[in-house]
Chain A
């Protein structure tokens, strides 16, 4: 299994530009999570989906952030317009949360390191 796939691995952009991060979860997993990790705030949940439906987006900082999951094998996190304070490592994770026999542990992708100048 290829694990959770994220792209790009690194993104450098200028303030005001649109940024799109992509995630392919592990096949068969029914839950997908987007996190942001910084030295100041640690690992923060932004939003998570269960069966492609957003369950909790209370961690999304503001309207500049949006996430979609059009099907079970793909999700995007978009920031428009980007700001320097958005610089962080963004992780996607997937899980069998709630599925019979699933422990609910999350499998993390390698992350996207975003730098907004």
Chain B
């Protein structure tokens, strides 16, 4: 099973609609990263959440971290075609204090104009 589970796996929305992507961890989260990947390209860093309850925004994208639920959500308001791509969450998931960068499988987002 995946240590970081993302849902949904894919999402198709109409331009202007709001949407939410979730990332659930099988272990305690001490911090979490969100990245975006355009098709055929490398990952681009969006934001990092370090503390429980922390919320950050970048343009129309907002992410929250709920440490108790071992979960993070990424919310896009008034989606645009430029938001299309694959969104991945990532965290250090090693045991015994080791740091092993781990990523979710990603959520593929398509925004229809």
Interface residues of A (CB under 8 A from B): 4, 33, 42-43, 45, 48, 55-56, 58, 91, 93, 97, 103-111
Which chain A residues border B99 with CB–CB below 8 Å? 55, 97
Interface presence of B87 (CB below 8 A): no
Q: Which residue of A lies closest to B94 (CB)?
A: A56
Interface presence of B113 (CB below 8 A): no
Interface residues of B (CB under 8 A from A): 2, 31, 33, 35, 41-45, 48, 88, 90, 94, 98-106
CA of A43 to CA of B45, assembled, Å = 15
Which chain A residues border B90 with CB–CB below 8 Å? 106
Known pairs A91-B43, A111-B41, A111-B42; A106 contacts B101 (CB<8 A)? yes
Chain B: minimal CB distance from A22 (Å): 15
Cross-interface CB contact of B42 among A91, A104, A105, cutoff 8 Å: A91
Contact at A56–B100, with CB atoms within 8 Å?
yes
CA of A97 to CA of B64, assembled, Å = 22
Of the listed residues B31, B33, B35, B99, the one surrounded by the most CB atoms of chain A closer than 10 A to its CB is B99
Contact at A107–B101, with CB atoms within 8 Å?
no
CA of A42 to CA of B98, assembled, Å = 22
Contact at B103–A105, with CB atoms within 8 Å?
no
CA of A97 to CA of B90, assembled, Å = 14
